[in-house]
Amino acid sequence: MFVVLIAAAAVLLWADINAGYRSISLEELGQILSGQASQSLTYTLIELRLPRVLTAMLVGIGLAVAGCLLQGISRNDMADPGVLGINAGAGLLVAAFIVFVPAGAVASEIALPVLAFAGSLAVAFVGWRLSIVRGVSSPKRLLLIGVALATGLSSVTSLLMLQLSDGDYAFVQNWIAGNIWGASWPNVMLLAVGLTFLVAVALFFARTLNVLALGSQAATGLGVNVRRASEGLLAVAVGCSGLCCAVGGGLTFVGLVCPHLARRLVGPNFRVLIPATVLVGAVLMLAADIISRTLLAPNEIPVGLVAAVIGAPYFLYLLAKS
Amino acid sequence: MNHETTTEPNTVASQRSLDELAAAHDAEDSLICEGCDRSCAWFNDAALRGEGISVGYEDRLIIAPMDVALPEGKVTSIIGPNGCGKSTLLKALSRTMPTRSGAVYLNGTAIASLPTAEIARQMALLPQSPSAPGGLTVKELVSYGRYPHQKGFGRLTDKDHEIISWALDITRLTAFADRAIDALSGGQRQRAWIAMALAQDTDLILLDEPTTYLDMAHQLEVLELLQSLNRDQGKTIALVIHELNLASRFSDWMIAMKDGSIRAAGTAEQVMTPSMMKEVFGLEALIEPDPWTDKPSLVSYRLAG
């Protein structure tokens, strides 16, 4: 199963690199790598295509893992970064920045990812604190509070957006729908390093996630400090989705659907589920990215919309089947 | 593998015969067993004991401050009507519910002073109607029982594999090892959870209503399994159970609760009496020795007038 997924990811990666105005053959790839290709071709691949494609792939991985962790901690299949209000928190700060900070005052390439990340963390933290009653956080309460926060924050965002010019409005709207806008090598490196660390932590706690999935009583009986483990894993999930949100905007569907697909493929044991989720996230986002850049070329459709359009019917099919 | 060697031989409390424990209780001319509090000689040798523990929220007390002890190397049943606090007592004893006062001692050590993983190496807990994620196999579930013994990324060692196959074997689930939990019958599923608790390799196992929702044959199957674990492996077992005749038949010790306090404790003969039935369940009961097992058995009952 893993071989198939890795092969699929590799094929899509290559296809995605090739998707666009100028396609690149394997021969040319060899030339680029050995430094014999023309400057414009090298520039197209190294400075334009690769960062974009890698960002899409990494964002897919990060969101998928975040969803996987959240579904595990909350023992609820509907949990994803969107449902917990994490995206909405990021979206609000992004909209507020564009409304209140005059253009050019602060470099938006730096400010927006930072704000999006901060917004994600803040909402996750508030939701978690609110979900604690009598010293215990119930997953169900966490989800309900997340939904309420997401709805509330989104309406504030909409209110703010009413004051925007058409261009800014379109930018924020695109951001919320999920658009890879932060594709640059520094962002790719940041994502790659951050996600590698967070996914490694998640893998280290895979066996704890397995036990948490048996319910908090059984987990306690097996020696898990349920509250501390949930808080730690929640932080990992929020870190993953915050990073992705910072460069990929409010992509929602990926985090929900990828863990489901992965579970269908390899079962619920997190020790294999997390690696499978990583691959499914990469595959889905690469596929979505190809479509988003080629369907209406040279115009681009927000990749989040594409992911939702391919993901939703399949998800409905899965739900109807089970 | 010779698993018996990993369980310590029963210590003081079980060397003391049940007759002795029972005699201590007979000496008290009261249904409310004074022999089970900390003045009792065997109390401090109990596998698990609570001293002055109470559970409650704000002004509502679910369990009034009480002393309770589970004799080591024995099967103990906790009985009582719905809402009497028996499950809550089990949760308080197993640190899955916070106590408002008092302390719980596991093999003589206060559990508040022990890391939760250390407690899990000494005491296993099977919650009421546990649920496993869809598609999880029997073997995977049982392997999760090794959690408190694992380190790092949690790769299973040879010893882990050995104990897992032993647990599957003793619960007669080896043939179902790769079957999904949700595809099993109720009785098999309960055995799979018991196998998980066994893989935890503890001397003490607590079970919250392990027979509820099972038909009669499967109830017997579960209780016979628990009995053999007690007799052959020397495990101390405590369970919350609704079926009084089964409790009487399979337990060495019984604790009857009502309204958050213990109303009777002792052997089945001491606890399964018409006066207990009246006080605890509000029933007028006809109790006779079971012709097959000689244990007190509820023949018929009606609401006490």
pLDDT of residue B10: 38
Using alpha carbons, select from B152, B93, B153 the residue that is nearest to residue B125.
B93
Contact B36, B76 (CB under 8 A): no
Question: Do the beta carbons of residue A178 and residue A56 sit within 8 Å?
Answer: no
All residues of chain B having their beta carbon less than 8 Å from the beta carbon of residue A202 are: none
ipTM of the complex: 0.84
* CA–CA gap between residue A68 and residue A61 (Å, rounded): 10
Residue A147 parent element (H or E): helix A139-161
Give the CA diameter of chain A: 67
End-to-end CA, chain B: 57
Q: Which of A201, A217, A263, A318 to mutate to test the interface with B (most CBs of B within 10 A)?
A: A217
Task: Determine the Cα–Cα distance for residues A63 and A81; give it in Å rounded to an integer.
Answer: 8
pLDDT at B193: 95
What are the Cα distances from residue B249, in Å, to B211, B214, B246?
14, 17, 5
Nearest by CB: B144 against A204, A210, A263:
A210
Higher pLDDT, A21 or A286: A286
* Average pLDDT along chain A: 84
Partner residues linked to B261 by β-bridges = B258
The closest alpha carbon to A21, from A40, A44, A53, A37, belongs to A44
Contact present, A281 and A254 (Cβ < 8 Å)? yes
pLDDT along chain B (305 residues), means of 10: 39 49 55 51 77 84 88 93 92 91 91 93 93 92 94 87 94 94 91 94 94 90 93 94 95 92 89 93 94 94 87
Q: Is A217 within 8 Å of B91 when comparing Cβ atoms?
A: yes
Q: A30 or A90: which carries more pLDDT confidence?
A: A90
Q: Is the pLDDT of residue A311 over 80?
A: no
- Cα–Cα distance, B295 to B244 (Å, whole number): 11
Percent of chain B's residues with pLDDT above 70: 86
A103-115 pLDDT tens trace: 666 666 777 788 8
Dist. CA B223–CA B210, nearest whole Å: 9
Least-confidence region, from A28-37, A300-309, B136-145, B149-158? A28-37
Tell which residue, A7, A19, A5, has the closest CA to residue A50. A19
Q: Regarding predicted confidence, which is higher, A167 or A204?
A: A204
Q: Which of A211, A214, A268 sits opposite B134 (nearest CB)?
A: A268
**Chain B positions in Cβ-Cβ contact with residue A266 (cut-off 8 Å):** none
Q: pLDDT for B238-250, tens place per residue?
A: 999 999 999 999 9
In this predicted structure, the answer to whether residue A224 has a pLDDT above a threshold of 90 is yes
- Banded pLDDT at A100 (limits 50, 70, 90): confident
As to burial, measured by CB atoms within 10 angstroms (0-12 exposed, 13-18 middle, 19+ buried), residue B111 is: buried
Q: Which of B116, B121, B140 sits opposite A269 (nearest CB)?
A: B140
pLDDT of residue B24: 59
* pLDDT value at residue B41: 57
- Burial class of residue B93, CB neighbours in 10 A (0-12, 13-18, 19+): buried
